Every structure is written in C-alpha cells, then in structure tokens.
Amino acid sequence: MCQCLVKPSNGAQYQYHNNLQAAPTTINMKIAVTGSSGFIGQVLVPLLLGQGHVLNLLTRQPVSTNNQENITFIHGDLLQQNSLNRLVAGMDVVINVAAMISISDAADKNAFKVNTEGTSLLLAAAQRAAVKRFIHVSSVAAFEQAPYDEPMDENRGPATAQPYSYDASKVIAQATALAYNSNNFEVIVLAPTAVTGPFDQRPSLLGKAVINMYKGNVPALFPGGVDFVDVRDVAAAIASALTRGVPGNTYLLSGRWVSLKNLSREVYKAKGKNKVLPILPLWLAFGLLPLVKLWARITGGQPYYTRAAIYQVIHSNKKIDHSKATAALDYKPRPFEETIKDEIDWFKKKGFLGD
C-alpha cells in the first residue's frame, strides 16, 4: 500500500491515499500521467507507485519541491506543447486521465477544446517520443445509450451530442485516440460510467451530490438513474491495461445501474435512517429550473441541477456490459453498496459531512 503527500508552492496540498493492495507486477515502467490530481488520478497514482513504476505527472499548479521518490512533476496543461513534450520524453506509457467535466446547459467551448485538442496534442507528442502504449480514459458519454433497456456493449455507435458539449468532446477525443493506434504505438481506450467512491478530495460533482443528500440539503429528486462504478475499480483497470488488453480496442468499465431514489436509500442507510427522497415528476423538475438557476445566482453557488443533468439520468442505459473488460483486464467491479458505504465513511473521516 502507498501514501504520498505533495505540497505545491501555492500552499495547497495534494494528498494521495489508497487502501488497495497493489497488483503484483514484474515490469517496472516509466509512465506519464495527466489528471493526476483529479478523482481517478488520486487513486491511480499510489497504485502505480506501489507497483514500482516511475511517474511523470502533469500538474497545472507549480510544485515547489520534487523530493517524492519515483515522481517528477511537469508544470503545464494539455494545451501547452512544450509541457507535453517534457511530460512524455523517455516514457514507456502515457495515461491520459485529464478532462474537463461540464453539465452546464450552455456550450463550454473551453472544456471542449481541452478535451479534444488537448488529447490530440498529447497523442502526437507521445507518438513522436516513441512511447510504446497510450491509455486514454474516455467515458460512457461517448456512446449512444439508447435503447436504454437493451444490453449495451462496445459495439454501440457514438453518442449524438450537441456541439461543444461534454459528450461531443468525449466522442471526438475517443475517436482521435483510436485513430492513432498502430503496431509501433499501441492505443487502448477505457470508458468508465459514473465514477464514485472514497478518496474524493475536491469533491467531484457526484461526491457533492452524495454530501448534500446526506446533509439533508436535497429536498427531492427526479426520475432516472445512472450506472455507478467505483473509482478503485477504474484505477485497477487502468493499471491492468499497462500490460493487458488488445491495442485498438475500447473497454467499457461499468458497475451497476442505480436509480436516484435507491441512491438516496443507500445514503440514508449509511446515516442509520430508513428513508428515501420523494421523486418529482419530470414536468415539475423542468419547470423549476428557472428558480434553481436564480437561487444559484443569488447565493453565488452552482445550481443543484441543470437540464443537461436531468437528461443524463433519464437517458442512461440500464444494462451496460463490462464482460469484455472482465475478460481482457480482469476487471471486477465491486457491489454498489460497498462503494457508497466506503465513500460516506471517507467523507465522515475528512469532515465533509459535519458529524
């Protein structure tokens, strides 16, 4: 097991914790990772260190010290070519986890640019540097999920998405990555569903939803749900893809589809209560959007939900098949109930829940 603590020059702390036993490996690699300070990255990095790999980590915040064993920090971002060149130089593998997530109803051209152009620049830099394998972490959002009650696998076509939306950016980035695959430059794409679980430092959008639900700040929900996957299982699949998986292939990393109603049940169960939140009819959820946005402007916070967020939970596939990843990567997602319990226990330990 591994724990690392990094103190950037701006006074913030990037703390990586992981209680997973590192998978055995006999091959020590030099690996470049983007998105290392994000949710998945904070679980992936210690797992890779525990396997004995040497890491280059791209960081948007300058790091004043670099005394962490087997880690070199490269200051920059996905749109800075010089930083990307330094990041991938001499590396065996590049793992692209970085992405900007947006559930805004308005087009986010900056997020779109980072997710698409950034991926393209990183691929080109890695190919020039003679990197052997490129692992691109995509999303289930890149796939068309309808029909929602029929089994879905990697043969589903790309999502039909609004221009400059998050979904559109994932479709383009994934296609770009696969187009680079060759005998000398192996590309593997991993597409997780909604990632949740412990070690959510910031926390993520889903983590904030769980926190607000636990604290009683969510009065009601709307119909629908999503497929949840544990961040620890996603990190383990990425580590497995260092040496496993067929180049040029995409692997869906799903867990279990859970309705928002049942999510609230599990959250309150962890609180020792037998309770579920009421479900609003869709017409009312949409009708309340102007008030939700107005309240967000008044309070200076983020809206509790958006039109895009509603569409995500009512247009989600309930039967996402991960058998391809299980066969190729030994991917074994854990029960959802375990994930939520561990997530809430971790939030309690860190003081996010106020009790």
Which pLDDT value is given to residue 209? 87
The domains of the chain are located at: 2-216+227-258+318-336
- C-alpha 53/C-alpha 48 separation (Å) is 6
C-alpha separations of 36 from 11, 85, 236 in Å: 18, 17, 15
Interior angle at CA 72, CA 70 and CA 75, nearest 5: 160
Token pair of 74 as six digits? 């490269």
Phi-psi region of 231 (alpha: psi -120 to 50; beta: other; left: phi over 0): alpha
Three-class SS of residue 259?
Answer: strand
Supply the pLDDT for residue 100.
Answer: 87
- How high is the pLDDT of residue 6? 39
Which residue type does 336 have?
Answer: F
How is domain 2-216+227-258+318-336 classified at the CATH fold level?
Rossmann fold (3.40.50)
Write the DSSP assignment of 303-323 as a string of letters. -S--HHHHHHHHS--S-B--H
Q: What is the spatial distance between Cα 99 and Cα 166, in angstroms, rounded to a whole number?
A: 9
Cβ–Cβ < 8 Å for 237, 307: no
Task: Enumerate the β-bridge partners of residue 136.
Answer: 96, 189
Helix (H) or strand (E) holding 14: strand 14-18
Supply 274's token pair: 């037998």
Write out the E strands in the chain: 2-6, 14-18, 30-34, 54-59, 71-75, 93-96, 133-137, 186-192, 194-196, 225-230, 250-253, 256-259
Which pTM was predicted?
0.90
The pLDDT tens digits along the chain (355 residues) read 344 443 333 333 444 444 554 455 557 999 999 999 999 999 999 999 999 999 999 998 777 666 678 999 999 999 999 999 999 999 999 999 999 876 665 678 889 999 999 999 999 999 999 999 999 999 999 999 999 999 999 999 999 888 888 899 999 999 999 999 999 999 999 999 999 999 999 888 889 889 989 998 888 888 889 999 999 999 999 999 999 999 999 999 999 999 999 999 999 999 999 999 999 887 677 676 676 666 657 767 666 666 677 667 778 999 999 999 999 999 999 999 999 999 999 999 999 987 6
CA-nearest of 17, 5, 20 to 237 is 20
Q: What is the model's pLDDT at position 49?
A: 95
Residue 347 CA to residue 46 CA, distance in Å, equals 19
